[in-house]
Each structure stands twice: as C-alpha cells, then as structure tokens.
Structure 1
Amino acid sequence: MACQFSKDGKYFAQITSEGKLKVWNTLSNTFEQEFTPDFHLTSPCTCLHFISSEAASKSGSPRKKKRKESLGESNTCVALGTSNGRLLLYSLVKGDLEYIVDSATSQSVNCLSSITNEFVYSGADTHVIVWNLSKRNVSSKWNAGNDKIYAILLTPLGDKLLTASKSIKLWDVKSKEVLKTFTGHSSPVTMLEYINPRSDAADAYVVSGSKGDRLLSCWNLNDSVDGKNAVASFLMEDIVNNLSIFVDHDGSSRMAATVRSGVVHIYHHTLNGKKSNKPIKPKTTIQIVSDSGTKDAVNPIYITAAAYRSAETLCICYGSAVVQTFEDITISSYKKVQCLLREDIHKKTVSKENQVTKVRTPVVGNDVHYLTTQTSSAPSKRKNDGQQEVPMEKRLENLMVNEEDSSSKVPKANNAAQLLIQGLHSKDKNILRTVLFKKDEQLIKNTIKRIPLSLITPLFEELTKLIQGKTLSRQVGLTWLKNLILIHSGLLLSNPDLSSFFGEALGSIEAGLALQSPRNKLMGRLELLIAQINHTPQQDSHDNEALLVFNDKASSDSENEGMEFEAHSSSENEWEEEDSEGGDNENEKVDESDYENDDGSDEPMSS
C-alpha cells in the first residue's frame, strides 16, 4: 500500500487495498478524509505524492484568493496516479478532486515526484511523463529504456532526474540524456530519497531500497565520482517500506527506515564521500508491543511509517489499515532496542462496548414471594423460604404430551426440499427419483423455491437427463423444468453461458416435438381400431362347442379317465340313423360288385 507524509509532517495519506485514499492529521491524531474515485474498481490508484498546488487555486476568483491569503490557508493537494494513465489532483481543503489530467495512454502510473507546484514527473511503464499542472496537460514524454520504472525522484534544483528499475539512471532533464547509471540491486528499486549534507549540489547522495534486498544503498551523485559501487550500505532485518531522512547542522545524516516486519531502524552516519567497507548497522531499533495478559508473552503492534519532527523526535504511525494511531516519541540513542508498551486499540474498543452494553442483574433477597396462576396472594402458614412449589396438577400437565402440538412441531422426515438438497449433493439416484417423480404441482413449486441458488445448476443437469429418457421421465422432467424456469428466470438469464446451458434440453425437446405428429396419427388409428372392436356383436356360445363327443368304453379299467367331448345339439338317435343309412349303402355296393362278372351278367361270382 502506497503511503507518504506531507512535507511539513501534518498529514499522512495512504492508499488502501480497495483503492481508497485515506488522510489523517498527525498533529491531532484524527482521521480527516476519505476519498473513493468513481473508477476505483476498473482503474485503481497506484501511487500518491503531496504537492502544494498554487496552480489549482488560480482557477478561483481574485476575491477568494485574497480571502485565502488573508486567512493563511495553504491548498495542500495529493496527486494520485492510476492504472489507466490518469493523474488525479485531490484537494484537502475542498475534500474533493480539483481536476483530472489524462495522458491519452493506457500505461499505468507507478510513481510520482515533484519539487514545485507546476510540474509533476511520473514513471509510466517504461516511459517518463511530465505533467503540467498549470495547463493541465502532458508537457513531455520520453522512453527511459526497456525496464519498467518503479521509482522516480527529481532533484531539488530540478535539473536532474533519477529513475529506478533494477538499475538507477541519472538523467539530464533538458537534454533527456543519461548521465550516470548505478547498479547493485538484485530486484526492482521501489524507494529513492535525496540527501544533501552540506547544501551543495556537488556533494549530493541518493539512498535506494529495493523490494527484495535487505540493504539500503547510498550512491554519490557527483559527476566526478564513479557510480558503479555504492558509497555506503545500511543493514536491515527485512524489506524497507518507508524512509525518512533528517540532516543535522554539522552535516551528519539521520535515517529512519520502517521495514516490512513492523519495526523502525534508526541510523546515524556522516557522508563525506569515502566508501564504507562494511554494512552499517542500526543504532537503535524501535518496536511497539501490547500486553497479552499472559506471563512472558506480548503481541507486536505493526508500525506503518515514521517521519522526523526533529533530530531526536520521531512521529510514528502504528496500528492496522482501518485504525491508525500517530505518536511523537523521543529516540533513545543509548538503547539498542527501544520497546514501547501500548494498549491494543482493538481490545480497547471492545472493552468500551462491553461497558456501554453491560446489563446488571438486580440483587434479590430470600424473602421474595413469587405469584403464579396456580397460587394465590394469601400468605402461607408454612415458612416462606423464597421458593414457590409448583402444584402436582401442573407437574402432571407438563409431563403429558399434547399430540396436536407435538405432531405440528415435529419436522417431517420426508421433506422434499431437504431430500432434494441431499440427493444433489450426494448424487444418490434413489433419493433423486423419490423426489423428482412427484406430480404435485404445488409441491414442485415449493420445493424449487426452498433449495439454495447454488444448486440450481445441478438440478437443471438432472432434469436434462430426465428429459432425455422415456415417456414418464420426460413428462416429469418437463414439469420440473417449467416451474424452475418460471421461478428462477432472472438467475438463468444472468448466466453468460445460457445457450450452452440449455443446449441439451432444447435438443431433447425438439426431438420429441418432431415425433409428435407421427405419434398423434398412430394414436388416432389405435383409437379407431379399439372403437370397432368394442362395437362388433358377440358370437353365440354354441359356436365354441364341440361337434362330437365319443366315450371309449373298451378302455382298460386302469384308465379311469376318458376323454370327454361335448355333444352336438342333435340327439343320439339321429346320429345312429345316419350311421345305418351309410351302412346300407355300403352293403348295396358290395352286393352289386359280387354279382357283376366279366360277361356283364348278373350271376354271382364263384369264390
């Protein structure tokens, strides 16, 4: 999170992880302002820098200018860089944006630096962009190389510019040429601070810190000195987050480095141009803890940033991103570790809430007499010990179970919504078949309304499988699908994959509609055939009877069961007459054949 103190140390600004700008007053230890850009979700703020913008105040009327000058107000502004190449100027006096400058590029603004209220220098990807605040446009832009710029610093005279990636380049602002290159960091440099011990431009230094090294490197900006190696290096226990420098009257430099672990390292060193062979260790390390309430155990409190008020006074900011506390402390140079014990802010707020919402129970004596509906207010002859006995009738009533109430309050074991949720989670086919094969329309609607929205997609997939089945499963699936679409139409329409989501179901429905016409024709023919069969007259019962019945009397005695045939309606006498007539005819034919001979005479043939 980008954070910075103002030049006078009055304000502290920070960009949160949500893209909001928060400003605190360090003198009064109060939260002043909070600003959320309209486009903080699509193009959040990436960096900030305090400037004293007189250019912004020029837009006002002359009367307002004179009034502000008479009141002695300084229009302190915060320049904000965004990820889509815009520069926002936020006024602390107005509590709103002054104006927005667009670079007409989509390059992210990663760092900002300025010494006047007219020009602001920024690093956008691999380019350097110069913003003109008075004209509210981009003054110039040039390419700084192939590496992305993570930090930028303009010297106090405004003639030289420092840009940092893994290496640090010193530029001439007018000619836009590289004067020197400093190399030595193994990761991108994110921190640059200018040091001028003797107020001489020829004796100037820059301190750099990267996001992967636990060393702060100091480089000499003098043109006559070779810049390949660092003049001094300062040892830290973690990566640097914030850096503050104070120069004494004698030329010695004091440096407060806030690291990622939440402590502040204090260094005291005099830069005289000579190279230091060993890394410089901190003189003092400041840390803040809170009492955890247990023996030999403390909770550390994270220090966000620190800034010098004077040579021996340091303003520290500690707490969390939500609650920040500012305090001026005196540096103890004779202590190696300066540990400060402070009360935890979160525990303090909780204790206050408990005090406000605390409920005290009134103290009641033993001589209190409780009245109930079963007891009267008449005094009892027995000794009153403060406890009222419940009558036996009331106890028996409490033991009795009211069937109506119990049946109404006991939850149903076969609750359709619960079974459906369980079946969708476990993919149990038996449970899903039990629930989905119910034809009650009202039950289906209530079940769909009660299932969570996260189970709409699994339910739709199961219904698609039912639609692809046979007649009964297709009918059940279409009923559930119709009610699902009617109830959750808004949720289904918000799905971006709606076409693929309904693909299989629509294909099955279209296939069923294609077969609807032949199916209707077949049903019509079947209905005609069934109607014709129902209207045909019934045949007589004797058509199904046997014509002859023959009883075999010569069968053996062992065979007791004979074959029985049903007799015809005609009598046995008629059947015997027909048999006799047939026999006579046969005898006549035999006699005629016997009397016929070869001569054709009627004499009988000899045997």
Structure 2
Amino acid sequence: MGKVTHKRNTDTSTVETSANASENAGIVISAFDESTTADHFALITHAVDRHRLRIFNVRSGTVSNDYSAQEKEKITCLSWGYLKDTGDLQANTVQAFKKKKSGIASLSKAIALGMQSGSIAMYSLSHGAIIKELTGSHTSSITDFVMTKDGSRGYSVAEDNLIVEWDIEEGKEIFKWKTDAKNVHKLKLSHDEKKLATAGHTITLWDLSTHSVVKKFTGHASAVKELAFSSQDDVLVSNAEDDRYVNVWDAQTTNTNSNNLTALTLETNVTHIDFSNNEPSVLAVTDDGLVGIWENASFTTTTTAATAGNRRKMMRSMTKEADANVKIISTAAEDTVIPILAAKFVSDNSGKSIMIARGSSVKPSFEVVKYVDEQGAIIHDVTLSRQPITNYLIDTSSIAATNLKTTRKAYDESAVTVVGNTDFVSKGPTMATYKDDDDEEEENVELSIEQKLQSLDVADTTQSKKKQNKKKTVDTPSAGSLQTVLVQALHSGDAALLEACLQHTKIDVINSTVRRLPTEYLIPLMMDLITKFQEKPSRAPVLLIWIKSVLLIHTAYLMTVPDLVGKLSNFYQALDTRLGVFPKLLALRGRLDIVQSQVNVKSYSNINDKQLKRAQLPENVYVELDSDDEADVEEDLSMDEDDEDMSSDEDMDQDISDSEESSEEDL
C-alpha cells in the first residue's frame, strides 16, 4: 500500500471540459443524483438577476437541462428524487398515450428546488420544466427538502422552524409540526423511510409514524452542514461548518446511546460527505479540493465499555484518519492542486470507486476514480495527474495550439515606430546658407519650398509659444489614435499603456474607440476592466463607462460567446453586493427628507404673513426688451426729464413770487 500515481487511460469514460478553478466561488449548490451510477450532476450558479440551474450528463459531459428561476427569485436548496409520470404533460408518443390511458405511472427523475419565497418547485428532467409547486405552508425561505423513493411524499423545513409533510401528487400539506430547536436547516430521510433526521446545532431523530423525538445528538461546535444514513440505517454521519471532523452516530432506536461512535478527521474543513450504499464506507470532500475515504467508518474498538485504565487507548480509537486520500495535481506544475468540487460512491469496480467532479461552474469535468488495487487492497494515496483546464477557447497544451504557435508569426516590436510627444516639438530655427555675393547667378536663384518653410520655423515657433503662454489646454486625442493605442496595450499586455487609455472619461471618445475596436480584443478588455473594478471599487464611475459602452455596442458579438456568463459571474456578484446597499440608502434619504421638511415648516411658521409676503417678493426684476422697445423707453425717459425740468422751473418761479409777496406785506 504505497503511493500510486495513475496516468491517463484513453479507454476510460473520462470527459474533459474547459473550466477554471478560480471561478468556483460562483457555484451556489451542486449535487450528484441519488442513483448508484451518478448519471447526472446538478449545478446552480448566479446569473444576471436570478439563479440558473444546469444539469450535466456525467457520461457525455454535456448540459442536458437548463432552467432559470424567475426574476429576483433565489434557489436556497436542491434535492434529487423521482416523481410519478402519468403522461399528463406530454402525450405526444405512443408509450405516453398508453400510460395515460391505462393509468400506469412510471417514475421519472426530478429535482426539488426550495425557493426563498417559501415555495417548492418540482423540476422534471424528462419534461424540462416545472411540473408541480408546493405552496401555502411556509412563510420564509426553504432550507431543505427530501422526498420518498416513489415520489409520493416529501418533507420540508424552512426558516420559520416548521417541518411540513407533503402529498406531492395532490400538492397539499399532510401534517405540520414545529421543530424542537431553532435554526434547523437540514433534513435526511432514512432508507426505510421511517425516521427523519433534522439538524441545526443539534441533531434530532424523529419517528415519522408518531412525529415524536427518538434520539438527540450533540457534539458539533457549529451548525450541521450535511447528514447521511448508512444503507442499514443503523449509523448516521454528519459534518458541520468550519469543522474538519465527521462525527459518526448510533442511529438505532433500540438503545439510548447518544454519544458519537467515532470521529473521522481530516487536515482541512469538510464541505461535503457521502455514505456508500453497498458497504459502511464514507467519503468527505475538503475545502482545498481533496477527498478522504474511510473503508469502515462505523467500526470502533471499545467505545462503550471503557474504564479509566484504558482511557488513552479509547481516545486514540475515537478518531480515525482517512484510509485513502484522492488528490489531483496539474501536469504543468506538480505543486499545483486541481480542486475537486463534489464526489459520490458509484457501483463501478464492485463499488470500490467514486465519481468526482472537478473544474468550475462553467463546464465541470467528471471522472471515475478507483481507490483499490488489483488485489482489492485500499490505496492510501491516490494521485491523479491531469492537465490544467482553463476557459480559453484554445488550450495551450493541445496539439492545435502547438500547431498554431508554429504557423503564426510572432509579434515583433523591433520594426515598430512609436510616436511620442517629443516628435511634435517644433524644430529650432535654421539659417539658410548662400554662396558669395560675387556670384551673380547664385544670387538670382529662387529659394525652394523647403528653404522657405525652414525660414518660417522661427515665426511659427514664436507664435506657438505666445499661444501656449496665453492659454494652456490639454487636447483630447482623437478616437482613432486612442483605438490604436488601446489595441497596442491589449496586444502587448502593457498595463501602464492600458491605464493611460482608461483615464479618458469623455463618452463620445470612449464610444468611438470601443466601436472601432476589433472583436478579438473585446473579451480581454472586459476581463481587465472587471479585474480592476473588483480590485478597486472606488474606480467604478470611470470603469463602468467603459464596461457599459462595450456591452451596449457589441451586444451581438457577446451573445455568441458560449461561456460569457461564467466569465462575468464575478462581475454579477460585485454588482449585486453594491446594489444591496442602495435600498438602505434610499430609506435613509426618505427619512432625512421628512425631517428636513418638518424643520423648514417649523421655521416658516414663526414668520407673519407680511414678512412672508415680503420675503416672497423678488429683490430685483430684470426685463429684457427689444431694440424698438429700448428706443421708446429712452424717448419716454427724455420726455420725463424735460417735464421734470419744466416743473422744477415753475416751482422756482412760484417760490420767488411767494417770497416777493411776503416781503411787500412786511413793508
């Protein structure tokens, strides 16, 4: 049992697809189906304004179903199951018509989608649509949902701490009861469908016939993330958030043992677990993309009858390290690990194999991995060497890429002349040279155009300096020159030159530049803009102008890019995060407007009506008049001045006569 490195086998059913491990953050929920062959893989990712469900065919690696939720609707949980199909929706085939006529119902694979609004949507893979909806019992978002094997009943739990038993065929509620603790967000149905395990910070085992509590388990420091029953329903395993232990519990109802049988330990936190249907084997996927496998997880030595003398031995037996570790490394760099997204036990190789999904949310890759050797002994370290997968249209390690490198002419900048600011500086004044004056023929020779231009350099330089001293302005480069510089920056990967182009904020220049930009540079430009937008959100007002221009002008081309949604997934998340603050700011603005209006009303209530009218009158009134009106006004003003002069003279004469009369009376 040593370290075995498996090389690629071209005869296996491995499906290679393009993916990028850096985009794994865009995955909301992912899960294999419940079959022993794991034929389908469901993946929920972020779209522009909603969640998107894609179902991959594991054997072919293609998308078999694609569904987008309603606008602003979010999917909170996902579970696989089967529904009875009587041919009511699609009776266009002879078999479907016979099923509908005879009433015989077959089971078709389906996915139950728990929604944030409190409803449960049943998506059928054969119909490619939502065929049932369970509504009316929950008032908050659904946290988990499980269904029976025949698809007749289902159990749901929501944030309102209520467990609801559903009749899926009728779409009605059968029974509802309240959970025994708060924050219960995980369900697991036993294989015999008689017990239901609920988990929050504690795990509770319910008897479905009486809806009573059978057992309770405590031992996780944080909220339980996943549950899994063994094939005999005698063992239950669980893992919690930010925890590197997988606890194994005794799920038998014949005893009262509520302590964990053992703890399966890994080096990093566990994100996903699965219990084999054939044997007591457990696997766990860690957050760094590794898989640990325990061949007999429920076996423990002396956990029930331990004494003080062998307590140390008991503690060693309580924790078990993984019997096998699966890791995928890159062929380009051995120290680079390709992360595993999900894993599940499958029936290949007598049940000694697992199906893994690696890659990203764009298009993951699937592969069956055998963890035992030819003699049936378990391999401790299983290391797979695989090529690094990217989202590029052409893989750099492929034969086509190699041929393209050999046939394509390399970009050489040695023969490129780059024009700078110094090339436009006016030359210094030059003096024309003439021969001796004694030579009469040379004196009469007329100056050439070049000599005349050189003689005019002095005057042009003086005039340009005067203009620069009078007003210094920065000329915006034309759209054609900016487009050339932008292409050069994207082609050569010059970050400084690209930053110089992005400093321009005039919308006309940006639109003209983007319109003239070749299509092969659009995706690299968008990736650079999105990266800069995420690294420094304070530059959003400038960068969003460029991003908006690219999306509006080149919409027709961007719609033809197959993996554009995956490339823009991080950008969508950044926008959602920024927009999530706006409703709170708008509510605050409304409150401030109300307060400010009340302050204004109170201040104006202390002013009386006269002051208010006086305050409302304008201080100065400007009346614009035509030329004819101005002439009439001037005549009126001159006539008024004459009248005032005449009236003043008459007043003076009257005053003089009055004074004379008064003097005569005195005499």
Alignment of 1:239-250 (within 5 A): 239-248=269-278
Q: Among 511, 523, 532, which residue is 2:641 paired with? A: 532
Task: Determine if the alignment matches structure 1 residue 159 to structure 2 residue 194.
Answer: yes
Q: Deviations over 1:251-287 (max 9, x none)?
A: x522221121210001111646865532111011111
- Partner residue of 1:51? 81
Task: Determine if the alignment matches structure 1 residue 320 to structure 2 residue 350.
Answer: no
Alignment of 1:132-531 (within 5 A): 132-197=167-232, 204-248=234-278, 252-269=279-296, 271=298, 276=303, 277-292=317-332, 298-310=335-347, 311-332=351-372, 335-346=379-390, 349-351=393-395, 360-361=408-409, 413-414=472-473, 500=593, 514=615, 516-517=617-618, 519-520=620-621
C-alpha change, 1:188 and 1:142, in structure 2 (3 Å) is same
- Partner residue of 2:45? 16
Q: Among 45, 57, 66, which residue is 1:34 paired with? A: 66
Alignment of 1:121-136 (within 5 A): 121-125=155-159, 126-136=161-171
Task: Determine if the alignment matches structure 1 residue 77 to structure 2 residue 107.
Answer: no
C-alpha change, 1:234 and 1:400, in structure 2 (3 Å) is farther
> For the residues of structure 2 that align with 1:285 and 1:57, how far apart are their CA atoms?
46
C-alpha change, 1:336 and 1:531, in structure 2 (3 Å) is farther
Aligned AA (1:22): R
In structure 1, list runs of 5 or more residues that go unmatched: 363-391, 419-446, 456-494, 540-607
Aligned AA (1:222): Q
Total equivalences in the alignment: 423
Contact 1:291 1:298 in 2 (8 A): no
Contact 2:87 2:97 in 1 (8 A): no
Q: Deviations over 1:478-515 (max 9, x none)?
A: xxxxxxxxxxxxxxxxx9959959x89x99xxx99956
Alignment of 1:586-605 (within 5 A): none
Identity of aligned residues (%): 20
* Secondary structure at 2:209 match in 1: coil
Q: Deviations over 1:404-442 (max 9, x none)?
A: 9x99xx9x8447999xxxxxxxxxxxxxxxxxxxxxxxx
* Secondary structure at 1:345 match in 2: coil
Further displaced range: 257-266 or 14-23: 14-23
Cα shift at 1:520 = 4.7
Aligned AA (1:81): G
Task: Determine if the alignment matches structure 1 residue 96 to structure 2 residue 129.
Answer: yes
> For the residues of structure 2 that align with 1:61 and 1:170, how far apart are their CA atoms?
42
> For the residues of structure 1 that align with 2:81 and 2:507, how far apart are their CA atoms?
60
* Secondary structure at 2:253 match in 1: coil
> For the residues of structure 1 that align with 2:451 and 2:270, how far apart are their CA atoms?
74
Contact 2:42 2:54 in 1 (8 A): yes
Q: Deviations over 1:68-105 (max 9, x none)?
A: 879x9862111100111100011111222112221343
> For the residues of structure 2 that align with 1:302 and 1:533, how far apart are their CA atoms?
101
Contact 2:187 2:199 in 1 (8 A): yes
C-alpha change, 1:148 and 1:535, in structure 2 (3 Å) is same
* Secondary structure at 1:269 match in 2: coil
Contact 2:356 2:369 in 1 (8 A): yes
> For the residues of structure 2 that align with 1:396 and 1:355, how far apart are their CA atoms?
58
Contact 1:160 1:171 in 2 (8 A): yes
Q: Deviations over 1:90-131 (max 9, x none)?
A: 111122211222134322111121223111111112111122
> For the residues of structure 2 that align with 1:266 and 1:417, how far apart are their CA atoms?
64
Aligned AA (2:84): E
C-alpha change, 1:328 and 1:512, in structure 2 (3 Å) is farther
Task: Determine if the alignment matches structure 1 residue 111 to structure 2 residue 168.
Answer: no
Q: Deviations over 1:228-260 (max 9, x none)?
A: 201121112223222222254xxx522221121
Contact 1:56 1:98 in 2 (8 A): no
Contact 1:57 1:75 in 2 (8 A): no
- Partner residue of 2:32? 5
C-alpha change, 1:91 and 1:178, in structure 2 (3 Å) is same
* Secondary structure at 1:184 match in 2: coil
Aligned AA (2:195): K
> For the residues of structure 1 that align with 2:476 and 2:382, how far apart are their CA atoms?
63
In structure 2, list runs of 5 or more residues that go unmatched: 1-27, 304-316, 411-447, 478-505, 511-538, 543-585, 602-611, 625-632, 649-667
C-alpha change, 1:259 and 1:108, in structure 2 (3 Å) is same
> For the residues of structure 1 that align with 2:108 and 2:125, how far apart are their CA atoms?
7
> For the residues of structure 2 that align with 1:162 and 1:122, how far apart are their CA atoms?
12
Aligned AA (2:389): I
> For the residues of structure 2 that align with 1:104 and 1:334, how far apart are their CA atoms?
48
Aligned AA (2:359): G
Contact 2:46 2:52 in 1 (8 A): yes
Cα shift at 1:394 = 10
> For the residues of structure 2 that align with 1:58 and 1:262, how far apart are their CA atoms?
43
> For the residues of structure 2 that align with 1:301 and 1:530, how far apart are their CA atoms?
99
Cα shift at 1:224 = 2.8
Cα shift at 1:213 = 2.2
TM-score calculated relative to the size of structure 1: 0.59
CA RMSD of aligned residues (A): 5.0
Contact 1:261 1:302 in 2 (8 A): yes
C-alpha change, 1:255 and 1:513, in structure 2 (3 Å) is farther
Contact 1:235 1:279 in 2 (8 A): yes
